[in-house]
């Protein structure tokens, strides 16, 4: 299957899932769900439990330890929710001894699909959530781990909303830092008669964040002007060569003195993990752990 075909297939699957989830989702649950081996199994669970918390997360009685003094706030990607993005990593970080938090923002309350709203607005809500975590835990700073939009959106919070003083490390898994053209699909749609109006009017109305993540958008131009990073924050990016959503995959990378960029295939040449499942990839998970605790870092490979 070619790259454009993969992108089209992905869009069809997302749309179909949204239709199904609207009819079966219950907005009443927030208890932690079970650990999951992949985003597919997590999404199936989330269909009936859209507000479930990832394992080990959202315990506001948690107090950070001396070994892990900064709580970790997880930030999900466009159309995902906290549970289906983080039902693998969250429990790992909890077992490592972190206080872990995962909000659902940028979507209808209790809805399956989150992070579709206007990104600056969501960044403001994210900042409020960070303040809530800091107040509850007594910590002075948090670390952030984000997927896709969730790895890029916190940069708006850091740059424009005072977040740089409250964050130690930002880890992005396949983040949309410099936008995407969806393997040319965006350009193809916009080149059609009325395509621009469709993208901005129809897609933009349903998912403002989708349009804002296009390569060259005014949002991204503003975000990336003057440099990628903020002083005092450490940045780690984990990308995959087989990313079919953030394309080219190198658009995920950041530049700056406090940036470390990784590619999954540099640790395992045959790792075929694509964009959606990267939060469940064992190499990506270990690189997150390394970024959060560099004193105990070790190099992952195909097997471990």
User: Can you give the pTM of this predicted structure?
Assistant: 0.89
Q: What is the pLDDT of residues 68-105, one digit of tens each?
A: 999 999 999 999 999 999 999 999 999 999 999 999 99
Backbone angles phi, psi at 300, to 5 degrees: -80, 165
Res 30: pLDDT: 74
Q: Residue 7: is its pLDDT beyond 90?
A: no
Beginning with the edge strand found earlier in the chain, give each strand of the sheet holding 167-173 in spatial order.
100-101, 72-75, 142-147, 167-173, 234-239, 259-263
Q: Residue 300: is its pLDDT beyond 90?
A: yes
Cis peptide before 274 (omega within 30 of 0): no
CA distance 88 to 68: 20
pLDDT confidence bin for 11, thresholds 50/70/90: very low
Question: How many CB atoms lie under 10 A from the CB of residue 228?
Answer: 18
Sign of CA dihedral 117, 119, 122, 126: positive
Q: What is the mean pLDDT of residues 36-52?
A: 96
**DSSP SS3 for 102:** coil
Greater confidence, 3 or 31?
31
CA distance 190 to 203: 12
Q: Residue 213: is its pLDDT beyond 70?
A: yes
Q: By CB neighbour count within 10 A (0-12 exposed, 13-18 middle, 19+ buried), where does 189 fall?
A: middle
CA distance 222 to 114: 23
Sign of CA dihedral 89, 90, 96, 98: positive
Q: What is the mean pLDDT of residues 202-206?
A: 75
pLDDT confidence bin for 206, thresholds 50/70/90: confident
């Amino acid at each position: 299957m070619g790259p454009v075909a993969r992108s089209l297939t992905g869009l069809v699957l997302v749309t179909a899932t949204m239709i199904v989830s609207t009819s079966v989702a219950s907005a009443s649950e927030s208890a932690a769900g079970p650990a999951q081996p992949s985003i597919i199994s997590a999404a199936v669970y989330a269909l009936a439990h859209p507000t479930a918390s990832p394992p080990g997360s959202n315990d506001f009685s948690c107090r950070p330890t001396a070994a892990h003094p900064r709580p970790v706030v997880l930030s999900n990607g466009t159309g995902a929710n906290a549970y289906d993005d983080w039902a693998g990593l969250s429990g790992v970080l909890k077992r490592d001894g972190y206080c872990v938090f995962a909000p659902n923002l940028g979507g209808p309350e209790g809805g399956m699909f989150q992070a579709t709203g206007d990104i600056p607005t969501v960044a403001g809500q994210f900042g409020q959530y960070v303040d809530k975590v800091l107040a509850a835990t007594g910590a002075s700073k948090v670390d952030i781990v984000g997927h896709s939009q969730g790895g890029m959106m916190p940069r708006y919070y850091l740059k424009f909303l005072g977040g740089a003083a409250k964050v130690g490390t930002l880890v992005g898994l396949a983040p949309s830092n410099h936008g995407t053209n969806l393997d040319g699909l965006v350009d193809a749609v916009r080149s059609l008669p009325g395509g621009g109006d469709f993208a901005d009017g129809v897609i933009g109305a349903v998912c403002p964040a989708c349009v804002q993540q296009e390569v060259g958008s005014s949002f991204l131009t503003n975000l990336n002007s003057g440099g990628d990073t903020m002083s005092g924050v450490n940045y780690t990016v984990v990308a995959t060569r087989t990313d079919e959503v953030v394309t080219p995959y190198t658009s995920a990378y950041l530049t700056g003195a406090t940036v470390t960029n990784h590619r999954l295939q540099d640790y395992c040449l045959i790792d075929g993990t694509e964009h959606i499942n990267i939060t469940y990839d064992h190499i990506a998970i270990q690189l997150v752990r390394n970024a959060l605790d560099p004193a105990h870092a070790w190099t992952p490979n195909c097997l471990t």
